[in-house]
Amino acid sequence: MKKSPVIGITSSYVRQTLNSEGVYVHHDYHRAILKAGGIPIILPPAPLHVISSYLDLCDGFILSGGEDVDPVYYGQIAHEKLGSVFAERDEFELTLTALLLKRKKPILAICRGLQVINVALGGTLWQDLPSQVNSPIQHSQTSHRSLPTHPVTISSHSQLAKIIKNTTINVNSLHHQAIDILGKGLSAVGHSPDHIIEAVEMKGEAFVVGVQWHPESMVPGCTEMSRLFSSFVNAASAHSQDEQNA
């Protein structure tokens, strides 16, 4: 019997009260993975020696949304509009990403995750779009996260276009940072009308796709986003089989 692939989801940190604090991931992430046939596991930021165990445990990884990436990792000083940063998470996820790419583990990078993979590959970020980029698009929407607010054009030759079976898609938008200089090895395959990079992927056999929007929250009402998660989970399953047969 074919086993369901285990999908590790990186996590943020929330402190509600003095006695209520801990790792956090929006429930839409694990719901989307379950719907696609995977088994979700939340991965707390951990000491770097734990990463090898995470790699052995999980067949695919979601780099999830959350805090801003500290600009020290891409050689810039902090902008006055920089949001909160989480040093332990930055170090953990950047190290994890480098090892995932080396092991060719399937990666779906979402929002902050897209930015993490870009920084891990030597790219840079716009630290605050509203003050640094003249755009009519509100990239940090005030409506519910499941609702699309602007279009994205997808390159017709891209893996992403083949997955979602479309070259235009309306997406939600919950970010104030974005890719500026593209990281080495990444291809920009999706753009919003203001030319902000909204999707990236890497050439090769490994599944490495990053999107700036939040597809997990659109899955219930959007066939294209369901296809994205199904394709990712299937890639994780295939990679697991390949590792077992190696």
Q: Could you report the per-residue pLDDT of 150-191, keeping only the tens digit for each?
A: 999 999 999 999 999 999 999 999 999 999 999 999 999 999
- Does residue 217 carry a pLDDT above 90? yes
With 0.85 as the threshold, say if the pTM is over it.
Answer: yes
Residue bearing the bigger pLDDT, 208 or 3 = 208
Q: Are strands 208-211 and 150-154 parallel, antiparallel or unpaired?
A: unpaired
State the SS3 of the chain. CCCCCEEEEECEEEEEECCEEEEECCHHHHHHHHHCCCEEEEECCCCHHHHHHHHHHCCEEEECCCCECCHHHHCCCCCCCCCCECHHHHHHHHHHHHHHHHHCCCEEEECHHHHHHHHHCCCCEECCHHHHCCCCCCCECCCCCCCCCEEEEECCCCHHHHHHCCCEEEECCECCCEECCCCCCEEEEEECCCCCEEEEEECCCCCEEEECCCHHHCHHHCHHHHHHHHHHHHHHHHHHHHHHHC
Q: How confident is the model at residue 134 (pLDDT cuts 50, 70, 90)?
A: confident
Beta-bridge partner residues of 211:
110, 199
Q: Which CATH architecture has domain 6-245?
A: 3-Layer(aba) Sandwich (3.40)
The residue-averaged pLDDT of 114-127 equals 98
The residue-averaged pLDDT of 211-239 equals 97
Check residue 242 and give its pLDDT: 83
The residue-averaged pLDDT of 97-126 equals 97
- The pLDDT mean for the chain works out to 96
The residue-averaged pLDDT of 40-53 equals 97
Which is it for the CA torsion 228, 8, 14, 125, positive or negative? negative
Q: Which of 54-63, 70-79, 200-209 comes out lowest in average pLDDT?
A: 200-209
**What is the set of active-site residues?**
111, 214, 216
- Does residue 18 carry a pLDDT above 90? no
The residue-averaged pLDDT of 197-216 equals 96
- Does residue 1 carry a pLDDT above 80? no
Which is it for the CA torsion 202, 122, 67, 76, positive or negative? negative
Q: How confident is the model at residue 2 (pLDDT cuts 50, 70, 90)?
A: low
Check residue 27 and give its pLDDT: 97
- Does residue 39 carry a pLDDT above 90? yes
The residue-averaged pLDDT of 72-94 equals 97
Check residue 3 and give its pLDDT: 85
Residue bearing the bigger pLDDT, 40 or 138 = 40
Residue bearing the bigger pLDDT, 1 or 82 = 82
